[in-house]
Structure 1
Amino acid sequence: MKNSKNIFSNYYINFSIIYIIISIIALLLIRQQTESIIYMYPNSFEEVKTINNISFCFLFLSLTIGILFIYIIRINIVKFSNDIIDNIDAFISGKEIVLEVNKDTLLSKIQNKFKCMIEIMENKNNRYLEEKDSIKSLIADISHQIKTPIANISMYNETLINRELDRDKQIIFLENMQHQVNKLEWLVKSLIKMSRLENGIITLNIKKYRISDTITNALSGIYLKAEEKNISIDVDIDEKLELYHDKKWTSEAIFNIVENAVKYTKDNGHINIKLDKMDIFTKISIIDNGIGIDEGEINHIFKRFYRSCDVINTEGVGVGIYLAREIINKQSGYIKVESKKDVGTTFYVYMKN
């Protein structure tokens, strides 16, 4: 603030000195011109003297008014600059900023722009903090999820090295190790997909495709698991219906939901998939008669790595449903869930027509 006062004081002094010098030069010129007129016309001395006095008075008055005007401008400029500097200082120190954004003044207009700049900076800072928290949470989740398979692999490997086992037991341990390696590989791939989706790295190729082809592609990877549990999958869809979507990623989302249904449906169960075309959206219903979800947990199943206590012993890490929602949301759609314990669960996938 002191710097701004010194700067404008210097400007004021310099401008005043220049104004005074110009006024003095003007007085000298008037004096010189008066002497020339008197020399040329000696009889007009009194008239010239009167004109000269009037000119001096007028010039002195204009000099006084000019200096006063400059002084007033200087006060306003210093006040204007100090108000802006006070706002900047308050913003830097985190104090409340009082902005007069509703007045029709230059200061108000600048303060309005300053307010917009503050809001942009605060939004960027909030996004940075959210991203930072998200990264910290992701690292913590990754650390927790990979700890178990790595510990199991280490234990199996140590047993094979330090103990003499017959061939059959070696094969069992090696198969267990392979299972943990597969789990770790699947987890890493899922984490990469999550990271790419959350950070907007992927570019969705949204075009008009037949949704039946996308669903068929999704089911091709799940039929074997369904057959192992003798679970029937019935599909009732319009094979000609076309929707705007990314074929690859939408197939991934539907696969995750159906795989989840197979996983939590008991042997000899059934899964139904059907379409309902509406005005804006097409609803894909994935209905199972599995173990169901407790009402208090429905709002949590879309959280990253969330797993219910009821299924803690079932294979999985709680990523599939989270990924499914992210994929559908990226395409301006959404997912709803209805479930009843020990009766079954229905996932509704709404996609834009």
Structure 2
Amino acid sequence: MKKYFINSELKISTVTLLFIMTLFLIITSLSLKSHHDNLKNDYIKSLGAIAQRVVAKDPKMEKEIIPLITKEVSKEEAKRGKAFLKEYGLTEDLENQLFPYVSTTIIKNSYSIILIFIFMASILFVLNYFQYSFFYKRIRQLTIAAQNVVEGDYDIAINENLEGDFSKLAISFNSMRGIIKSNLSELGLEKQFLVDLLSDISHQLKTPLSSVILYNDIMVTKELTHEQNELFLLNNQNQLEKMNRLIKNLLKLAKLDAKAIEIVKEEQSLNGTLHDSIDSLESRSIEGQVKIIFNEKEEIEFNHDVLWLQEAFINIIKNGIEHTAPGGSIKLMLMENPLYTRVTIEDTGEGMTEIDLPNIFKRFYKAKTAKRSDSIGIGLSISKSIIEAHNGIIEVRSKVNIGTKFIITFIKF
């Protein structure tokens, strides 16, 4: 029972009910007192009239009759008196109107009981009305708010300042409203993401696919030399490889954005992850005549998914190789302090303008200063998603014809 008395409404109704019951007890007590006074008055009137008539008939009975009126009679005397009156038809079954004086008292008492009942019933009715109208008003507010949520309006909140279960219900409803709004918003973003993804895939595949179809039709319908066939086949192979890379990267990005990939983190050497990333690009760096320099001062253990973080580093380093002229270099630095672990990747490439910097992590974006035309423009977007999945932040600073620096910071808390 104690757990229900945290509700202020129950406390108020209990106190009000106790007050009404006390008032009812007082009114009833006053009514009974009035009833007793009327009975005594009628008793005096009735017996006084009888005594006066007896004394008028026989004055000698005056001294004997008063003690008989004031003292309590015995059971035997009461029984004989009742039998005596019965001989004259005076019994409790006789109509009230035939009893002098008593009938008036009975009528007054009946009216008093009816008035008390009407008064108390009115108070209880008014109290019941206000109490339940108060509850139903709050229930209607919840109902209206729920209907608004169903109709897509999430701005109406239920405000409850009183202590108790209604306040808990209002808090739970507001929490549910926020969760539904958040979930629908996420669904809308996911839907828009799928629309954008399909649009991007369609747009990016259109050119290489058209090229493959065109060259294939030429080879089928025209008589070509062996060298021409080999050239067309080589072109088709390049376009197919480009489409293959594009589709794989788009699928990776889609899974990362949809959080459909489980990042399995383990405490491992971050130095080793960077070395493996550099090794996987060794042939590309030799081909581009770009030197990769890794300045490591200490061995740093970091909680990360090795394969996915390698993917992020490889995309950034590969971007630097693609946009750095032969003879250039890419420098990697690794540092750690109590607040964060930081990886810096800096190249001496062509750089980017201030207009390009805010957009380089967008899918399929290519900087205006980029000299290569075969880049897909999706690798940096994948890297950003992987780094953020490791509680990291990636920043970029760049100057045209000087180079670009990527600063990757992994927060420790």
Give the TM-score category using the shorter length: 0.7 to 0.9
Task: Check whether the contact 1:332–1:351 (CA below 8 A) recurs between aligned residues.
Answer: yes
Q: Which residue of 2 aligns with 1:185?
A: 244
Q: Does 1:199 align with 2:258?
A: yes
The letter for the 2-side match of 1:334 is I
Structure number, greater radius of gyration: 2
Task: Check whether the contact 1:206–1:244 (CA below 8 A) recurs between aligned residues.
Answer: yes
Partners of 2:333 and 2:155 in 1: how far apart?
A: 57
Q: Which residue of 1 aligns with 2:377?
A: 318
Partners of 1:251 and 1:78 in 2: how far apart?
A: 61
Partners of 2:332 and 2:197 in 1: how far apart?
A: 33
Change over 3 Å in CA distance of 1:277–1:91 after alignment to 2: closer
Task: Check whether the contact 1:256–1:320 (CA below 8 A) recurs between aligned residues.
Answer: yes
The letter for the 1-side match of 2:362 is K
Q: Which residue of 2 aligns with 1:288?
A: 347
Post-superposition Cα deviations, 1:156-198, rounded to whole Å, max 9, x if no partner, equal: 2112111222222211211111111111111111011101111
Partners of 1:212 and 1:304 in 2: how far apart?
A: 29
The letter for the 2-side match of 1:59 is F
Partners of 1:63 and 1:329 in 2: how far apart?
A: 69
Task: Check whether the contact 1:214–1:251 (CA below 8 A) recurs between aligned residues.
Answer: yes
The count of aligned residue pairs is 316
Q: Which residue of 1 aligns with 2:231?
A: 172
Partners of 2:400 and 2:338 in 1: how far apart?
A: 32
Secondary structure in 2 matching 1:346: strand
RMSD: 3.1
Partners of 2:194 and 2:248 in 1: how far apart?
A: 17
Task: Check whether the contact 1:287–1:346 (CA below 8 A) recurs between aligned residues.
Answer: yes
Q: Does 1:124 align with 2:183?
A: yes
Q: Which residue of 2 aligns with 1:302?
A: 361
Change over 3 Å in CA distance of 1:242–1:113 after alignment to 2: closer
State, as a whole percentage, how many aligned pairs show the same letter: 24
Q: Which residue of 2 aligns with 1:66?
A: 124
Displacement of 1:311 after TM fit? 2.4
Change over 3 Å in CA distance of 1:171–1:333 after alignment to 2: same
Q: Which residue of 1 aligns with 2:315?
A: 256
The letter for the 2-side match of 1:342 is N
Q: Which residue of 1 aligns with 2:325?
A: 266
The letter for the 2-side match of 1:329 is E
Secondary structure in 2 matching 1:178: helix
Q: Which moved more, 1:131-140 or 1:308-317?
A: 308-317
Q: Does 1:115 align with 2:159?
A: no
Displacement of 1:205 after TM fit? 1.3
Post-superposition Cα deviations, 1:255-290, rounded to whole Å, max 9, x if no partner, equal: 001100110111121111121222222222212111
Task: Check whether the contact 1:99–1:108 (CA below 8 A) recurs between aligned residues.
Answer: no
Change over 3 Å in CA distance of 1:284–1:99 after alignment to 2: closer
Q: Which residue of 2 aligns with 1:16?
A: none
Task: Check whether the contact 2:154–2:181 (CA below 8 A) recurs between aligned residues.
Answer: no
Unaligned stretches of 5+ residues in structure 2: 1-90
Partners of 1:298 and 1:145 in 2: how far apart?
A: 22
Task: Check whether the contact 2:212–2:236 (CA below 8 A) recurs between aligned residues.
Answer: yes
Q: Which residue of 2 aligns with 1:153?
A: 212
Task: Check whether the contact 1:80–1:107 (CA below 8 A) recurs between aligned residues.
Answer: no
Partners of 1:88 and 1:230 in 2: how far apart?
A: 66
Partners of 2:110 and 2:327 in 1: how far apart?
A: 119
Unaligned stretches of 5+ residues in structure 1: 1-36
